[in-house]
Amino acid sequence: MYGIALEILLSFFLLRHFGYSLDQALGLKINTRRVTFFILGLIVPLLYYILYKFTVACVTGNPYYFNSVYRLHDFISALAYIARGVVTEELLFRGAILYLLIIRIGSTRAVLLSSAAFGVYHWFSFQVFGNPAQMLVVFFMTATCGYVFAVAYNRTRSVYLPVALHLGNNIAVSILFSEDRRIGGQMLLKTFENDPVIPPAYIGLPLLLLHFTGFQLLIWWLLLKVKWLRHI
């Protein structure tokens, strides 16, 4: 929490130096539109990953079941941990700096620069620096996520939508269907350690591509097609 408070304070003085306000950059003022952005941004990633993961489970014959030892306290602790990380990253990569970059160099270059920085940042946070193959995969997946988060910020000129998309994504991959030693076991477990069924290539390859790009492509398409997702 201290880190978030420090980021907000530094953002305030940085923006003030250039003649802008915190609300101009972050779009923090609550209104119906922004609340709706947040709710939809949270729901869409969760629905996407639930549909995708259960489809894969069906194809591989390895269904999920609820972790019987999982408790509400586990969820709250994990959610608090994830939320701190999401807010910290969004303030850094989709906050005052991105706002100033959009003004100075234009939205296209600013969004690309922000997404590239987001990808490089995860080399260190995921501790893969020095392993070229892992670095490439991590960069691709996180930079493309960073890209759609940055586009969401640019379209709405508020952090509500990118924060919600980021939070929904992380809840799905780190709480529902994954295991992160820093936050404990996941809510849903696979029935078998190894998948009993190996799907044919014409099914397995599209599922693999969706694993790496499905979420990003869905959000990018929605941001392009849904005209309501625009700043007013």
At 66-108, the pLDDT tens digits run 999 989 998 999 999 999 999 999 999 999 999 999 999 999 9
For the chain, the distance separating the N- and C-terminal CA atoms, rounded to the nearest angstrom, is 31
What is this structure's pTM?
A: 0.93
Contacts of 213 (CB under 8 A, 6+ apart): 144
Total domain count for the chain?
A: 1
Q: pLDDT tens, 126-142?
A: 889 889 999 999 999 99
Domain containing 131 equals 28-223
Contact 218, 48 (CB under 8 A): yes
Q: Is residue 231 one of the residues assigned to a domain?
A: no
Q: Is residue 166 one of the residues assigned to a domain?
A: yes
SS3 94: coil
Cα–Cα distance measured from residue 227 to residue 170, given in angstroms and rounded to the nearest whole number: 26
Q: Is residue 113 one of the residues assigned to a domain?
A: yes
DSSP H helix total and E strand total for the chain: 9, 2
